[in-house]
Amino acid sequence: MKTTRTESAADVANELLSLAAELRASDLHLEPRDGETAVRVRVDGRLRQARVLPRELGERVTARLKALAGMDLTDRRTPQDGRFSRGRTNVRVSALPTLRGETLTVRLLDGGERPRGAESLGFFGTALELYDRMLRAESGLVLIAGPSGSGKSTTLYEMLSTLSGESCSIVTLEDPVEYAMNGVSQVPVNGLAGVRFADGMRAVLRQDPDIVAVGEIRDAESARAVHRAAITGRPVFATVHARNAETLPDRMNDLAVSPGMLAESLRGLVVQRLVRRTCTACGGNGCDNCDGSGYRGRIGAFGCALFADGESAFPARLREADEMLADNCRALAAQGVTTEEEADRARRSV
C-alpha cells in the first residue's frame, strides 16, 4: 500500500492492527531506521517485514499507539508499558528508546482464544497419560518448562481450565494476566501496588485455595515462594524458563531453590516446544492460506515426568522427559503434522 505524508496516524495504526489480526500475528514491531520505520509482524513465531513507513509517519503512528495505551507522549527517553483493548483482543504496548529512536512492540492477546483440550495442544500417548495424572496431584509442584515462546502459558491455562470445571477454588498470581478465565481468581502481580511477590503469595494462601498457580517463576523471590506454597499441602502449578528437563535443577538452583528442595516439592514436569504445522491447504508447497511459507499455525511437542516424594531416580526421570520431547518432535514429522526440518530444529534445541 502506498503511504503519503497526509495519511492519518490513526488510520494507519488501525490498518496495522487489522493486518496483524488478519495474519494471526502475535506481535507487531515498529522499528525506526534511517529515514524510515520498518513494520514487522511475528506469525507462528517468525518475524517478517510487513510494511515500511516513511520515518515521519512512523513516528506519528508510534505516538498514536502510545496514546491508545495510555502512555506519556512527551516522554520518548524512558521505557514505557501500556495496554488497551480492541474488540476482544488485549493489546500490550511496550516502548523502548534506542539509538535510532523509539521502538514499539505491540503484543496481541486474543481474548477469544480459549483452551480446547490437551490433545488439541499436541499431547498424545505417554505424554498425555502423564499429563492427566499430574492434574490429579494432591500436593506439590507441577512445573511447565521451556524456552520463551514455547507455549508454556497456553499449557498452564489449559490445565487450569480443566481443573476449574471441577468444584475447586483456584487462585493465580500472574504478571500480567494474559487470558481472563471464568471460575478462577486471577491476581495481576503488577496490580498489587508496592506488594512484593512473597507477600502476594501469603495473601493468596490466606484465601484457602485448593490450587495455586503462578504465571511465571521469574526470580529467586517467586521461586522460593512457589516452593514454600508447594510443600504446605496443595498443588501449585507454575511455568519457568528453562531449556530442558535435565538443566532444570541448575536453573532452579540459580533461583535459590536447591536440588534437594526441588526434589522435595516437584511432583510433575512438562517440557515443551512449539513446531510450525505444515499448511493443510497446500501440503507445505506454499499457497495464499499460508502466505507462501508452507506452514500455518503451530502445535506443541511435549515431554512429561512424574516424581514421587524424595525420588532417588530424579536425574533419570528428567532425562526421560527430554527424550519423550525429542521423540514426540520426530513423531509429529512422521505423522506429517510438521516437516522433518522443523521437527529437527525443535529436537536439536532440547
Binding residues for Zn ion (CB under 5 A): 279, 281-282, 287, 289-290
Closer of 8 and 289 to Zn ion (Cβ): 289
d(CA 174, CA 217): 10
Collect all residues with Cβ–Cβ distance below 8 Å to 216 and sequence separation of at least 6: 152, 153, 174, 175, 222, 238, 239, 240, 241
Closest separation in Å from C-beta 144 to Zn ion? 31
The residue number with the shortest CB distance to Zn ion is 279
Instruction: In whole angstroms, give the CA distance from residue 82 to residue 34.
Output: 26
Q: Please, which residue, 281 or 316, has the CB nearer to Zn ion?
A: 281
Nearer to Zn ion by Cβ, of 251 and 277: the residue is 277
Q: Which is nearer to Zn ion, 259 or 286 (CB)?
A: 286
Q: How far is the CB of 281 from Zn ion (least distance, A)?
A: 5
C-alpha cell at 324: 519423550
Residue 249 to residue 141: CA distance in whole angstroms: 14
How many Å apart are CA 320 and CA 271, to the nearest integer? 11
Angle at 266 between CA 138 and CA 153, to 5 degrees: 85
Smallest distance, Å, CB 339 to Zn ion?
12
Cell of 247: 538443566
Q: Which is nearer to Zn ion, 215 or 294 (CB)?
A: 294
CB of 282 to Zn ion, least distance (A): 3
Specify the residue, 128 or 282, whose C-beta has the smaller distance to Zn ion: 282
Q: Tell me the residue type at 153.
A: S
Is the distance from CB of 256 to CB of 295 less than 8 angstroms?
no
Answer yes or no: are the C-beta atoms of 205 and 229 closer than 8 Å.
yes
Nearer to Zn ion, 220 or 282 (CB): 282
Helix (H, G, I), strand (E, B) or coil at 61: helix
Q: In the bound complex, what is the minimum distance in angstroms from residue 284's beta carbon to Zn ion?
A: 7
State in angstroms the smallest separation of the CB of 43 from Zn ion.
13
> What is the C-alpha to C-alpha distance for residues 152 and 156, in angstroms, rounded to an integer?
6
State in angstroms the smallest separation of the CB of 166 from Zn ion.
40
Taking each helix axis from N to C end, the angle separating 340-348 and 314-334, rounded to the nearest 10 degrees, works out to 170
